[in-house]
Amino acid sequence: MSLVEIIVAILVIFATFMVVATVFAQWRAPDALTRANLMGPTVAVAFPVLIVAKLIYDIAEHGFDLHDFLRALLAIAGAWIVASVGSFYLARSIYGVTVVDETPEGSASEGAGK
């Protein structure tokens, strides 16, 4: 194995560790809102690390290609943007269902605006 392949393997193992750690944390999470928040490390760190590992491998095999580099940057930026917007809406919808508001009469009702 070359040095580049070792670096790529280490990055892939690190990303795999992040995914496995997220899975175990998901199993232990007490509620849906916590489970939704636990996806952050996988989306924000593990996926970009995998993309960078692929880019490093491609550069080592075929040389630097600007198109591959730009695609990697767009993929990482796209993953971060989609994940942040998606997790925001997912968390808002989960929070809206699970929150318990007190009404003026003192009785509890589920959901906002009831």
φ/ψ of 100, rounded to 5, equals -115, 115
Rounded Cα distance, 66 and 87, in Å = 31
CB 29, CB 38: distance < 8 Å: yes
| Per-residue model confidence as pLDDT tens for the chain (114 residues) | 899 999 999 999 999 999 999 999 989 988 887 888 888 888 889 999 999 999 999 999 999 999 999 999 999 999 999 888 887 887 778 777 665 656 666 555 555 554
CB 90, CB 36: distance < 8 Å: yes
φ/ψ of 111, rounded to 5, equals 85, 155
pTM of the model: 0.74
